[in-house]
């Protein structure tokens, strides 16, 4: 009897966290594609070439679409990996440039949310064992 409410809460938590991750990928991806502030100037300040911005943006948008699409469990694994790697790389870039530790909060939080979404995903969105 207790399994049904727990399953419902888990599904609700999954979709709430996943909506945040997907929203960040869509908004951040669009801002990267169009080279908008604050991300584009920050990318340049960190020493990356400007042409990387639309490449990352398109990858983020594709990840968002894959995370929302039904099925595609293997692609979802890659999308989650890409989101986490992107956020870890952002944090590492700030550390390498000796930027303020406050610059680690957003990438750290989004990486944690991506891992939480991955951990909470329902069986229909997982690779078969």
Q: List the pLDDT tens digit at each of the 129 positions of the chain.
A: 455 566 789 999 999 999 999 999 999 999 999 999 999 999 999 999 999 999 999 999 999 999 999 999 999 999 999 999 999 999 999 999 999 999 999 999 999 999 999 999 999 999 988
Structure tokens at 77: 């694994």
DSSP secondary structure letter of residue 98: T
Tokens found for residue 105: 């909060």
This prediction has a pTM of 0.92
How far apart are alpha carbons 61 and 63 in whole angstroms? 5
Return the number of other C-beta atoms located less than 10 Å from residue 44's C-beta.
Answer: 14
C-beta separation of 57 from 32 below 8 A: yes
């Amino acid at each position: 009897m207790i399994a049904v409410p727990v399953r419902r809460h888990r599904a609700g938590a999954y979709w709430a966290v996943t909506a945040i991750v997907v929203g960040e990928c869509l908004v951040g991806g669009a801002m990267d594609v169009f080279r908008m502030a604050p991300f584009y100037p920050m990318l340049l300040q960190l020493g990356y070439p400007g042409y990387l911005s639309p490449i990352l943006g398109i990858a983020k948008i594709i990840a968002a679409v894959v995370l929302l699409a039904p099925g595609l469990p293997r692609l979802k694994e890659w999308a989650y990996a890409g989101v986490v790697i992107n956020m870890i790389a952002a944090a590492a870039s700030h550390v390498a440039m000796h930027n303020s530790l406050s610059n680690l909060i957003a990438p750290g939080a989004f990486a944690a949310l991506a891992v939480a979404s991955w951990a909470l995903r329902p069986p229909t969105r997982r690779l078969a064992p």
